[in-house]
Chain A
Amino acid sequence: MAFKYSAYTGRYLRVDLTKGEIKEVETEEWRARLYLGGNGFGTKVLWDEVPKGVDPFSPENRLILSTGPLTGTIWPTAGRLEVIGKSPLTGIYGDANSGGHFAPELKFAGYDMIIFQGKSKRPVYLWVEDGRAELRDASHLWGRGTWETERIVRQEHGDERIKVAGIGPAGENLVRFAGIITSGRAAARSGLGAVMGSKNLKCVAARGELDVEVADDEFFDYACEVQQQILSDEYTPSTSRYGTPGLVNPMNEISRFPTRNFQRGDFPYANEISGEVLEKKFLVRRTGCYACPINCGRAAIVREGPFKGTYTEGIEYETINALGARTWNRDMASIIKGDLLCDDYGLDSISTGGVIAFAMECFERGIISEKDTGGMKLEWGDPQVVLELIEKIARREGIGDVLAEGVARAAKKFGKGAEYYAMHIKGMEMSAQDPRSQQSYILAHVTSTRGADHLKGFPCIDETGYVDAAVKRYGEQYLPEIVDGLSTKYKPMVVKDGEELGAVTDSAIVCKFGTHFPPAYYWPELARGISLATGMQLDAAELKKIGERIYNLQRCFNAREGIGRKDDIQPKRIMVESGTGRATGYTAGPLLGPMLDEYYELRQWDKETGWPTRAKLEELGLKDAADELDKIAPSRRKNRW
């Protein structure tokens, strides 16, 4: 019988790698109705199937690749893939999300989701085509980069249209921040590439010719209308033209651009690594993910110098900051080279840059010396050091073996006060959003369910001040503080709303470019789009409830692992040291406490423990989670990190 809701395939795969068994399961009606897709599907699987204390690298961990109801349709930006698992970097809930063309292909191949469990004896990959799936030998792919892996798989099947999502050597070597890459697009945060590697799974290759149908024909015209809404937003043209690298200069101007391992928030040489420079000297073409009206992708090539001929499609704002300003590196060509290396080895460029900057600072301060680095001088701004460390990390060679563990573990190993320079929250390296210059981000970073992160709350309203969007979304009464980056007022409300909206966009699955930045469309449009596609008849309030349910269940997963308010803290450095430029005199410290109080209150979470209350969980239909949390009293252990 056909699935009740349109736009789903109505089937998913459960792959037991230990037994080499593939089971086809009918997508449950309740799963779609309560958890929507993508992020929601994965969260529910993780909560149900990965109990407290499971080692992320053990066969008991799950790795979930999921699509959502909008995947494969013409809804703007509906080409994203969601990956979920317990993170080896943080030891808690982990997810990552990438663009590209893989997720729609998986849906055209007939599946809403794939759950991997167990561990294969030898390297394998999963081949999915038109409602069939099989595990194939991947020993000839093991050790190869992600680009080459894609090429070989396509050749093997003789079809250029095959889409591949997989890992490079970093994932195989269990680098704790290895990602899953599809044609240079990376689902890289949380280190789920290493989970894939721990299961001896090299990649998933998909090819499909099946239809994705929607409930109401009006969906098409409405999707085109929302596309227009995104295109006519005043901030879209610059993102289209310069991609996210276009943010380098504006973020630097407001000193929100982490530099020299967060020693400061602005980089004097930002002009040399900006979106404008990228366009002038390196751009080949603009590229886009599936069904995207923004097309922020950059195909870039280095035309001269030592990195001549280096070509990448993955260069973006975060990578430029991580491999550039964060390490004091002003050589754009080397950043492009570094981006290619990260994509090909399968590394999260944010964590990679973070851990390199951390090592450089430890070297500067004498915490580590040439004895520890195998003779390498980890000087700030040396492009060769950045590139060499990327390779060493991916191969776990020498000092790279320590850095491959992430800054939190490396700091413990180095000792001598190195912790102070480890810029992470819950074990996850911080992204390029210096919260000292945008106070809402302190809260967003600490309440993110996957550790330090800009993409959960993604509070862009107060970045440079989106007055119109702020008024439209929250009302005039919150002006002017709500759009003031240095004010903490009303930000808990904005962060909470962003987290729930984000949980839904990651489940639908669409890009946050459109819903969060630029804030071009919002709950009502998303609810109408999903309703027209699926036939569910959701209104904005019901959709928001789904987002809230997903986010609360993620928090429950973390609570079960012992996470609570004691862990919702920022790195000491940004608590103590002031920002620079507009953030001079501002730290990310004193106001976090009151913001957290207000946030927990809005969330109806216990203010002392930071755990969701029974009343809240029951309201969201999560009674089983409340029962389970009651069994384990709130942990009174000291901070995990």
Chain B
Amino acid sequence: MAKRIVLMERPPINTCTGCRSCELACSFRHERAFNPEKSRIRVIRTEYGISYPVVCHQCSRPPCVEACPVRAITKNPESGLVYIDESLCIGCGLCIEKCPFGAITLHADKKVAIKCDLCDGDPGCVKSCPERVLALADVNIVAQRTRAAWVKFRG
């Protein structure tokens, strides 16, 4: 199954609250420092208290892979992971421009593109999310859960 970081929330109670624990966990896992600017997951807070974690969806047809002029980004056909090889990346930022979600960032010091690599299957963001709304799951599992909730709600 191709897994990715998913948000499973039911506002207004069960929701991302914008605490940004995920950003801190992510930066610590990858950088051994707390720095939201170096996090692969970013919580965006807009008006009316809405917060939403933006992270790579590990697209089936990733525009970043197509955009990369040096083939530093590859998609693993088995695990589904879209991976940036930092040693190949030239930091041109074309992938950043092409990502429809803003899920890729240029690393402030290393000047290479960084994005979610699913932490080898044990993501720090999922571990640290106090609201338990982040999960590592196949997107179809999310659909299944939503279906179940909907049918339960329908009664």
Contact = CB atoms under 8 A, between A and B. Distances in A.
Given A74-B21, A211-B31, A285 B48 contact: yes
B127 interface: yes
Contacts of B141: none
Interface of A: 72-74, 76, 101, 108, 208-214, 217, 220, 224, 227, 231, 241, 279, 283-295, 297, 299, 301, 311, 313
A606 B97 CA distance: 69
A495 B3 CA distance: 51
Contacts of B131: 295
A227 B128 contact: yes
Contact of B33 (A211, A227, A299): A211
Contacts of B36: 108
A292 B20 CA distance: 8
10 contacts: A74-B28, A208-B37, A209-B108, A211-B33, A217-B32, A279-B13, A286-B49, A288-B17, A295-B131, A301-B48
A184 to B, nearest CB: 9
B114 interface: no
A284 B49 contact: yes
B12 A210 contact: no
Contacts of A294: 130
Interface string B16-48: 011111001100110111111110000000001
A313 B49 contact: yes
Contacts of B12: 279, 283-286
A313 B46 CA distance: 12
A283 B14 CA distance: 12
Given A220-B29, A241-B13, 4 more contacts: A213-B33, A286-B49, A291-B24, A301-B48
B35 A293 contact: no
B48 A73 contact: no
A211 B19 contact: no
B37 A108 contact: yes
A220 B49 contact: no
A622 B31 CA distance: 41
Give chain B's interface secondary structure class: loop
B49 A287 contact: yes
A275 to B, nearest CB: 12
A286 B15 CA distance: 7
Contacts of B20: 101, 290-291
B34 A299 contact: no
A295 B16 CA distance: 10
A213 B32 contact: yes
A288 B25 CA distance: 16
A311 B46 CA distance: 13
Interface in B38-84: 38, 48-51
Nearest to A290: B20
B155 interface: no
B21 A291 contact: yes
Contacts of B48: 284-285, 299, 301, 311
Given A227-B128, A227-B130, A297-B49, A72 B17 contact: no
The winner among A73, A76, A214, A291 for most chain B CB atoms within 10 A is: A291
B130 A73 contact: no
Contact of B19 (A209, A217, A285, A288): A288
A283 to B, nearest CB: 5
Contacts of A291: 19-21, 24
B21 A293 contact: yes
Contacts of B21: 74, 227, 291-293
B32 A288 contact: no
Given A284-B12, A295-B130, A212 B17 contact: no
B11 interface: yes
B18 A287 contact: yes
B34 A72 contact: yes
A299 B29 CA distance: 31
Nearest to B19: A288
Contacts of B32: 213, 217
A285 B28 contact: no
Contacts of A227: 21, 128, 130
A287 B51 contact: yes
A231 B130 contact: yes
A224 B13 CA distance: 22
B155 to A, nearest CB: 21
